[in-house]
Structures are given as structure tokens and as C-alpha cells.
Amino acid sequence: MAVYTKVRSEEIDAFLTRFDAGSLVSAKGIAEGVENSNYLIETTQDRFILTLYEKRVDPGDLPFFIAMLDHLAEKGCPVPPMIADRDGIKIQQLNGRYACLIKFLPGISLTVPTAAQAEATGRALGNMHDALQDFNAERPNSMNHDTWRTLAVDCGPLELDNIAPGLHDLVEAELGFLDTHWPDDLPKSVIHADLFPDNVLMLDDHVTGLIDFYFSCTDVRAYDVAITHAAWCFSEDGVQFNPAISNALIGGYSEAFNLSDTERAALPVLARAAALRFLLTRAYDWINTPADAMVTRKDPTAFLNRLKFYQANPDIFKA
């Protein structure tokens, strides 16, 4: 949530000469997305996002993301494709970083969505899954359920219990539960895997953009529904579950793409898995980020609360 790599206006203007994109009129470093450096730039022709990839994105994954966004954009999904330069090149280098010029999408990210907005997002997710049915590239999920035990060990038992008393035992039990219950036989597909409200741009009840595809990967498709559910259907602290949002999200998804009975039956387990995944990554960041760092640490207990809710309420996904 900061600009890590500084790029001078003159450097951006020189960078733009590689493209048919006009000359620079305005450039502002913006604070958003995962840990990349982003500039919102305006040229004499259009507006763009200029992204410089920092440590969290492996440059080797960029061709996959580019192919995915091109595929989705061609099918009419509201995603921001990378712009090719005059030689057809999309992966550039700038100031020692890999960099892409990306289509700017209007729309605002909501924090407290309405049911109509959740329904539109569910529909957009379903449309995306539909569009990805004939997308054949693959990318392993670097955050898949096999990695969570290592993540828990890296957190450390004492450190987990410092976040919430008994958390280490709870995590161990949940890892054991998922070892036996993870539905590995469900249909797999490329998924977004991080469709939080801040990765959806909206105007009124209309989705204008799905963004931040840098966790996209191949995994159980219904797990994407479960992640989106965990991200959208609770108060930020995870204490309040909102059944109207939940029904709207799943309803919108089902309108756009068929959620099979087997997938729906697996949602209680997948939702627990989604809650555990964000609980563990947030716990890891919490433990390894100094309290006084300027990066805002996200409270892991917000997803502990969701996990406990999903454990206690497997019936919320019943049609």
C-alpha cells in the first residue's frame, strides 16, 4: 500500500514512447493493490495504471497473468489487460523492476457492499469461471492447502497463541480436518483466489472491474466461491455474518454459472479452508511485521472469527 520504486515523471514519459499511448499529462503514485508500486497516469490519449512488480510477484508468472487477462477481456469480462508496446511486448522493464502498462478501469471499491452489489459480484465471478472453461494455461497455487501446515509451523505455536489463546491447537485440528475432508475430486480451473471487495470495482450496482489477479492459480473452482464468500459476507472483524449478502452472492454466481450439488455440498469445508488460509497468512504477516511499521497489519482474528462461524454453521450454503 505504498510506492516502493520511485519513477520520475521524465522516466514515465520516456517509457510511454515505447507505446502508441500518447504523451504524459499527469502521473500520481497510488497506494493500492498487493505489494507493487503503482502509478495512475494520464496521457494525451487515455488513462493507465503503470505497475512495477516488487518482491511478491514472480516475474515468471507474468506471462500467465497476461494470457489470463487477455482471455477474459476477449470474452467480455471487465478486467484490465496489459497494453502491448509497438513491438507487441507487454512485460517491460523500468528502474530495475519488471513493469506493465495496464488499462485503467473506472469504478470504486466498496467496503460495505449491499446485497445487490454482492449479487452482481457473484454473477461477475460466475461469468469469469464460465469464460475460463476453455483457458488452458495453468499455474500452481502457491498458497494451496498443502502449504498451510508449513505456514503454521513458520508462525510458531507461541506466536499463534499470542494472537489468540488456543489458536495453535485450533489451527492444528483444522489442518487435520482438511487433510481428510479437502474435496480434491471437484472440478479444477483457473481461479482468482483473492476476490475481496477491494478487488472489485463498481459503479452503483454494476461491476466495472475485477482487478489484482496476482494470486490467480489453478485450484478447485468452488474454492474461489468460498474465498469470495469469506471475503464478502461478514463485517470486517468477522463477528457479524450477513445472510442476505451470502444468499445474493451465491445466487448471483449460480445464475451465471452452474454450481453443482457436489460443489455446493463441499462449500462448508471450502469456506473453512478459505478462512484458515487468510487466518494463517495474516497471522504470518502479523508476527513478522513490526507493530510500528507503516504497513497496516491486517488483524488475523477477523478470519479466526469467520472460521469459527463456518465450523458452527455448515447449513448456510444449503439451497
User: Which chain residues interact with a copy of itself by CB under 8 A?
Assistant: 1-3, 6, 8-10, 12-13, 24-32, 40, 42, 106-112, 201, 203, 293-296
Q: What is the nearest approach in angstroms of a copy of itself to the Cβ of residue 237? A: 15
Q: Are strands 108-109 and 37-43 parallel, antiparallel or unpaired?
A: unpaired
- Choose between 89 and 112: whose C-beta lies nearer to a copy of itself: 112
Measured between alpha carbons, how far is 150 from 220 in angstroms, rounded to an integer? Answer: 20
Q: What is the nearest approach in angstroms of a copy of itself to the Cβ of residue 174? A: 31
* Residue from 141, 144, 134, 142 nearest 67 by CA: 134
- Choose between 7 and 77: whose C-beta lies nearer to a copy of itself: 7
- Choose between 141 and 199: whose C-beta lies nearer to a copy of itself: 199
Measured between alpha carbons, how far is 254 from 260 in angstroms, rounded to an integer? Answer: 9
Q: What is the nearest approach in angstroms of a copy of itself to the Cβ of residue 38? A: 8
Q: What is the nearest approach in angstroms of a copy of itself to the Cβ of residue 108? A: 4
Decide if 65 contacts 71 (C-beta within 8 A).
no
Q: What is the nearest approach in angstroms of a copy of itself to the Cβ of residue 9? A: 4
State whether the Cα torsion 143-111-167-185 is positive or negative: negative
Place of cell 445464475: 255
- Choose between 9 and 240: whose C-beta lies nearer to a copy of itself: 9
DSSP string for residues in 28-74:
EEE--SSSSEEEEEEESS-EEEEEE--TTS-GGGHHHHHHHHHHHHH
The values of phi and psi at residue 41, to 5°, are: -120, 145
- Choose between 291 and 293: whose C-beta lies nearer to a copy of itself: 293
